[in-house]
Amino acid sequence: MGNKDLILREKLALQRTILANQSTFLSFLRTSMYFLMAGLTLQNLFTMGNFILFEVILFIISGVVFIIGIFNYFSHKKSIKESEIHVGDYKSEYLN
């Protein structure tokens, strides 16, 4: 009975980790969209002046944050997938 509780707890912890990874990716996406919207707002708000440099900087930051978010998501997804082998009675795998 104790082993089944341990397995369930480990699987639930793994599921929480997967959901946390997805939530973190959505946070990166949201931040990227904020920078994109800031750049578009500057473009529409100030039609006169030299704000093109600020727009380009905001667009670049948006792209960089998005790429970092994608890289972060897939690297953590890979490490989570690799850690799935430890769920359950994994000690028998190491003793053989």
Q: Are 58 and 38 in contact (CB under 8 A)?
A: yes
User: What DSSP designation does 84 have?
Assistant: G
Q: What is the residue range of 64's domain?
A: 25-82
Whether residue 70 lies inside any domain: the answer is: yes
Q: What's the pLDDT at 49?
A: 66
pTM (whole model) above 0.75: yes
With respect to residue 65, please indicate whether it lies within any of the assigned structural domains. Answer: yes
Q: Confirm if 90 and 3 have CB atoms less than 8 A apart.
A: no
- Give yes or no for a contact between 80 and 21, defined as CB atoms under 8 angstroms apart: yes
Higher pLDDT, 23 or 82: 23
pLDDT at residue number 58 = 94
Instruction: Report the number of distinct structural domains present in the chain.
Output: 1
| 51-85 as b/e: b if 16+ CB within 10 A | eeeebeebbebbeebbeebeeebeebeeeeeeeee
Q: Is residue 8 part of a domain?
A: no
Q: What's residue 1's pLDDT?
A: 46
Q: Between residues 67 and 2, which one has the greater pLDDT?
A: 67
C-alpha span between 65 and 36 (Å, rounded): 10
Quick check: is 55 in a domain?
yes
Q: Is residue 90 part of a domain?
A: no
pLDDT, one tens digit per residue, over 12-62 is 888 999 999 999 999 999 999 999 999 888 877 776 667 888 889 999 999
